[in-house]
């Protein structure tokens, strides 16, 4: 049986060419808009978008400030689409864990609707802490599932899903990952279909 990371790679390779018009692409638009409106950006910030897909979030952020935009994704087809769209940004096929970046080299890390695909969420958060500069920040957007839907999704849907879904987390569970890694401040809020987290090193 394929592991969840490989399932994610296969699933997103299949939908990369029509991602924007797919059900999932339409679902993530709200999350991308909320993130792009709320992320604190400064000129020259080095931004790493993990599971960047076709680069839409980085495009929105680059409209607000002149940033060094970097995106990684395990889907080769998604990265190909991103490179074709935004040739002035840096996109690479890389895993989310471990992060292939040096210590204290990134200002901002973003993860939009992908954290629930990660096989090793605590390991990933630990890596965020390592690669972020002092006062660096992580921003996450995730689906906003109520307790009952979250229970059924995690117990009965995700184990048999072929899309690479691992587990969707409650706001308190998301907070715990970052406090466990020693982040100084962690804020989480729900808005419509999304859960949004901001964690400062």
For the stretch 140-181, pLDDT in tens is 999 999 999 999 989 998 988 888 999 999 999 999 999 999
Give percent of the chain above pLDDT 90.
Answer: 94
- Domain spans in the chain, listed from the N-terminal domain onward: 4-200
Whole-angstrom CA distances from 73 to 36, 134, 181 are 19, 25, 23
| CATH number of this structure's domain 4-200 | 3.40.50.150
Mean pLDDT for the stretch of residues 2-15: 90
If you search the block for the tokens 């390991």, which residue do you land on? Answer: 123
Give the pLDDT band of residue 46 (cuts 50, 70, 90): very high
pLDDT at 53 over 90: yes
For the stretch 105-116, pLDDT in tens is 999 999 999 999
């Amino acid at each position: 049986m394929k592991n969840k990371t490989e399932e994610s790679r296969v699933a997103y390779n299949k939908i990369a060419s029509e991602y924007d018009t797919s059900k999932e692409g339409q679902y993530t638009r709200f999350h991308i808009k909320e993130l792009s409106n709320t992320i604190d950006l400064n000129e020259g910030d080095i931004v790493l978008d993990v599971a960047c897909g076709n680069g839409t979030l980085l495009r929105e952020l680059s409209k607000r400030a002149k940033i060094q935009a970097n995106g990684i994704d395990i889907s080769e087809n998604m990265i190909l689409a991103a490179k074709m769209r935004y040739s002035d940004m840096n996109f690479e096929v890389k895993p989310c864990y471990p992060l292939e970046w040096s210590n204290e080299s990134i200002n901002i890390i973003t993860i939009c609707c992908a954290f629930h695909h990660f096989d090793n969420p605590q390991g990933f958060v630990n890596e965020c802490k390592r690669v972020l500069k002092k006062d660096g920040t992580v921003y996450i957007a995730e689906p906003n599932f109520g307790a009952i839907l979250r229970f059924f999704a995690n117990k009965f849907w995700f184990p048999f899903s072929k899309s690479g879904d691992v587990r969707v987390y409650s706001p308190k569970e998301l907070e715990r990952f970052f406090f466990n890694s020693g982040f100084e401040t962690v804020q989480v809020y729900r808005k419509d279909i999304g859960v949004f987290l901001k964690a400062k090193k």
